[in-house]
Structure formats: C-alpha cells, structure tokens
Amino acid sequence: MNEQKTTATRSLLPEPTLRRLPWYLSYVGMLENKGVGTVSSTQISKELNVDASQIAKDLSFLNIKGKTRIGYDVPTLRRSLVEFLGFECSHNAVVIGSGSLGRALMQDAGLAQYGLSIVAGFDVNPAIVGTKVCGIPIYDISELKARLEKLHVGIAILSVPVEHSQRVADLAIASGIEAIWNFTPYRIKAPQHIALANTSIYAHLAIMYNRMSHGTK
Amino acid sequence: MNEQKTTATRSLLPEPTLRRLPWYLSYVGMLENKGVGTVSSTQISKELNVDASQIAKDLSFLNIKGKTRIGYDVPTLRRSLVEFLGFECSHNAVVIGSGSLGRALMQDAGLAQYGLSIVAGFDVNPAIVGTKVCGIPIYDISELKARLEKLHVGIAILSVPVEHSQRVADLAIASGIEAIWNFTPYRIKAPQHIALANTSIYAHLAIMYNRMSHGTK
C-alpha cells in the first residue's frame, strides 16, 4: 500500500513497530504502578497478543537489553520507551480549524502527557477568532505564518472541513511547518520532508459498523 | 445478485478496503459539492495516490458500476458509499470514561455526520456524575447495564485510564454491548462476536515524532 511505502522511505523504523511500542508502554506503565520489578517478552506477549519474537525485535530498536530468564527491568523499560517515543519532550502544535473536532482536541489534556502542547488555534470564522478554548487563543488564519514563527511551532493539527484540507495543508507547509497531523478524512499530499500522520477517526467507524453487521446480530 | 451473497461478500470485506472507502467518499463528496457529474477511477487514483486497479477492486464491493471511458456517476457513487459504510444509519453509543478525551468526543458534532449518536456518558467520579456535557447526561458506571438496555445502545466508546481498560471492556461486554471503540492505548481482549475498533490517537504521535526527527531537522 502507498502509505507503507512512503513510510519506509522516510525512516528506518517501521510503522508497525511504532504502533506497537505505545502498547508495550501502556502495559509496562501499569506494571510499574503496581510495583512489578521485571517483565519478560513472553509475559508481554501473553498480555498483548503479540508474538514474543516480534516484541524482542521491536524492543531491539531501543537501547535496552533484557536478562535471560529474568526479562526487562520494568522502570528502565518504561523510561526507555517514553524517551524513545518522544513523549517526554514538549512539541508545540497549533490546531487549524477550530470547529467541533479542533476544539475537542484543545480540550484533551491527555495530549500533554504524550508530549504535545497546543499553543494556538486558527480559524476563518470571525465569530470565534479572538476567543479562547481552555486558555488557548484562536487567531485568524491570515496570521498563521507570523504566529508560527513567534510560537516556535513544528506541528499543525488539521481539523478543517474536508474541502479545504489540501489548501490549508499547503498553506501550513508554506508557513514553515514540519509536521501535519491530519484529522480530516482527506488524503492530503505533502512533500517528502514533511512528517505526515493520518488519524481519520471516522474511518474507524466504518470498520466497526461493518464488523457489527456480521457479529451477534 | 441474491441477498445472501451480498451479505457474504460484505462479511469478507478487508480492513484496508474499509479504510480506503472513506477517502473515496470524502473526495467524491467534494466533487458533488462542486457540481461535477462523473469521475473515473484514474482520476480518483491521481487525487488520492491509490492505485487505480485497487480503487476499482474496492468499489466492486459496492453494487455500482462505472461506465467505460466515462466513469462513475458522482451522486450515485457518493450515495452508495454513504449507505455501504453505514454512515446514514444512526448508531447509538455511550462514552465510558468521561474525562478529557471522553468529553471531547461528546462535544464533537462531526461524529453525528458519520452515523454515531452519543446518548450517555459514564464515569466513577462523583463530581461529574449527574452533570451534562453538550446535553449528554453522565451516569454512574454502576448504572451501565440498566441504562444500556433502556437506551438501545450497541456501541461503547472506551476512554478510561489505561489501567481500567480491560476491566471496563469486560463490564461493557457483560452488559450486552456489541461493539467497542477503544480509545485507550491498551490492547483490550474481547470475544470474537464483539466488533472491536482501536483508535489510539496517541500512538500516531509517536509515528509523527519519529518522522520529524528524520525529516527536515
């Protein structure tokens, strides 16, 4: 598939690995909270339904070694995962399109725990430009470039209506953004050097509805 | 084609196809808004960066045929996609875990456009039980089973702290839920007949951060 190919050329770390590492982190974090000292890949495998050899392979990207018959030291593994995934650094982001979904993201305090700090919102609607959401100011989209420079922002979160997706993405790229987190269901195009993550949450609904119609009912 | 066959074909629908169909929908919706009458798979291919033969194959799951050298009728294709994806039906859902992310989802009016109607929230925190978010009442988790029966709800949206994910999923399943939309980063386990969709939005951050560190910087 196209997505996979783009990903492969961009970095050596495979996307499936990057998707699994946060699962390990959430499990290991739970263990640490419970005061568990060590965990083996077999244990993680059982709990998360991922092949043990795959887990060992994924964790080999980190600078961490498990001990034979003992496994990984839980606090060390947790810290390594957090660092490796970039969740401990603060990444400044802006939300472009401060409608329903955009505002929801501004209100989600959970993002901060994963190193994302939303510092501003942008919109074209004069009724909301100048207002604040959870203390985050909403600016007019015409101010995008100037504000991005002042705020040291690398990430644009895209939550505009689908018909504006590509145009707004182009504008963000021209304004010097490094990464786009695309929440629109549109497949936007971006140059190779732009980090692009697609999170079309609505697409997951289609999968769920399909599975439901063939499940219990 | 008889109905049995249609059902059988749909049940085999591969997840990658289900992920791509909403992209086609968003593009075709844009075209319809612009008054465009027909579209070919080659055109969709160019716009969305998906192989044209793949598009034809994906669309073959729908009961729609394109015409040689003309392509698909845009309004018909759009309507077929909406129907096929289940976005025109209303699916009742509850949010379990009405913290930051849960409340954000309740506030996202966009979900309704995709056929999802959030009718109640649940939590354990006495400070928020009894309150409303956008008119949606928050109940105590102990009332889950009784409320689900009254409200005709098939979908549980899971947005609890990670350490409670599995326990709360088990509770939802025992209360008669058919589908779980899991927003926690935890890999919950569910019986085969439960439709399970994982939307770990924070995992996408890891992918983006990794791409950023190998991109322009």
Mean pLDDT of the region A188-206: 90
Residues B199 and B99 in one domain: yes
pLDDT in tens, A96-114: 999 888 998 998 888 888 9
State the total domains in chain B.
2
CB contact B212 to A (< 8 Å): yes
Residues 6+ apart with CB under 8 A from B106: B95, B98, B118, B121, B133, B134, B136
Give the minimum alpha-carbon distance from B20 to chain A in angstroms, rounded to a whole number: 8
At B97, list the tokens.
């875990």
In this structure, is residue B1 part of a structural domain? no
Q: Does B184 touch chain A (CB under 8 A)?
A: yes
**Are both A179 and A100 inside the same structural domain?**
yes
Chain B residues near residue A196 by CB distance under 8 angstroms:
208, 211
- pLDDT value, residue A140: 98
Regarding whether B81 and B66 lie in a shared domain, the answer is yes
Given B85, B103, B122, the domain boundary residue is: B85
Shared domain for A193 and A98, answered yes or no, is yes
Q: Do residue A96 and residue A194 come from a single domain?
A: yes
Looking at chain A from residue 95 to 134, which residues have their Cβ under 8 Å from any Cβ of chain B? 99-101, 103-105, 107-111, 113-116
- Mind listing the pLDDT tens digit for each residue in B148-202? 999 999 999 999 988 899 999 999 999 999 999 999 988 899 999 999 998 888 8
Mean pLDDT value of segment A173-187: 93
Domain-embedded: residue B217: no
| A62 CB burial (10 A radius; 0-12, 13-18, 19+) | middle
pLDDT of residue A109: 80
> Is residue B216 a part of any domain in this protein?
no
Indicate which of A7, A61, A108, A167 best probes the interface with B, i.e. most B CBs within 10 Å of its own CB.
Answer: A108
Distance CA B189, CA A48 (A): 8
Domain boundary among B21, B54, B85: B85
- Report the run of H or E that residue A121 belongs to, with start and end: strand A116-123
Task: Find the CATH number of the domain harbouring B16.
Answer: 1.10.10.10
* Per-residue model confidence (pLDDT) at position A10: 35
Specify the pLDDT at position B66: 82
What are the pLDDT digits (tens) for B90-140?
A: 999 999 999 888 998 998 888 888 999 999 999 999 999 999 999 999 999
Non-local CB neighbours of A144 within 8 Å, separated by 6+ positions: A94, A96, A122, A171, A172, A175
Which among B15, B111, B154 has CB closest to A212? B154
Q: How many CB pairs under 8 A join A and B?
A: 234
Q: Looking at the domain assignment, is residue B5 inside a domain?
A: no
B208: chain A residues, CB-CB within 8 Å: 155, 179, 181, 195-197
Residue with tokens 């705020």: A151
In 3-state terms, what secondary structure has residue A215?
Answer: coil
Last residue of a domain, one of A52, A85, A118: A85
Report d(CA B94, CA B157) in Å as an integer: 6
Instruction: Give the distance from CA A127 to its chain's centroid.
Output: 30
Q: What is the pLDDT of residue A66?
A: 82
Cα A56 from Cα A39, distance rounded (Å): 12
| Residue B177 lies in domain | 91-204
Cα of A41 to nearest chain B Cα, Å? 15
Please give the residue that has the higher pLDDT: either B108 or A214: B108
Measured between CB atoms, does B52 come within 8 Å of chain A? no
Q: Are residues B171 and B104 in the same domain?
A: yes
Chain mean pLDDT for chain B? 88
Residue B136's domain is classified under what CATH number? 3.40.50.720
- Going by pLDDT thresholds of 50, 70 and 90, the confidence category of residue A194 is very high
Q: ipTM of the assembly? A: 0.83
Is residue B189 within 8 Å of A57, Cβ to Cβ?
no
B95: left (phi over 0), alpha (psi -120 to 50) or beta: beta
Is residue A211 a part of any domain in this protein?
no
Residue B2 forms part of a structural domain:
no
Task: Report yes or no: B4 at the A interface, CB cutoff 8 Å.
Answer: no
Residue to test with chain B: of A23, A25, A212, A217, most B Cβ within 10 A? A212
pLDDT at A68: 81
Looking at CA atoms only, how far is residue B14 from chain A in angstroms?
Answer: 9
Give the residue from chain A lying closest to B211, CA to CA.
A195
| CA contacts within 13 A on the Cβ side of B115 | 21
Per-residue confidence at B12, pLDDT binned at 50, 70, 90?
Answer: low
Do A167 and A118 fall into the same domain?
yes
Summarize pLDDT for A25-65 with one digit per residue, the tens.
999 999 999 999 999 999 999 998 899 999 999 999 998 88
From A61-75, A173-187, B28-42, B140-154, the region with the lowest mean pLDDT: A61-75
| Domain annotation covers residue B19 | yes
Return mean pLDDT, chain A: 88
Residue with tokens 């939802």: B172
Rounded to a whole number, what is the distance in Å from the CA of B31 to chain A's nearest CA?
9
pLDDT exceeds cutoff 70 at A167 = yes
pTM above 0.90, yes or no: no
Phi/psi of residue A190, each to 5°?
A: -145, 150
Whether residue A97 sits in one domain with residue A79: no
Q: Are residues A99 and A41 in the same domain?
A: no
Partner A contacted by B206 (CB < 8 A): yes
| pLDDT value, residue A155 | 97
> Does residue A217 lie within any of the structural domains?
no
Contact yes or no for B82/B21 (Cβ under 8 A): no
What does the block give as tokens for B50? Answer: 């998906």
Same-domain status, B107 and B199: yes
Q: What pLDDT is recorded for position A108? A: 84
Kindly state whether residues A66 and A110 are assigned to the same domain.
no
Facing residues of B133 across strands? Answer: B136
Q: Are residues A40 and A77 in the same domain?
A: yes
Is the Cβ pair B21, A206 closer than 8 Å? Answer: yes
Max intra-chain CA distance, chain A: 63
Q: Is B155 on the interface with A (CB under 8 A)?
A: yes
- pLDDT band for position A21 (cuts 50, 70, 90): very high
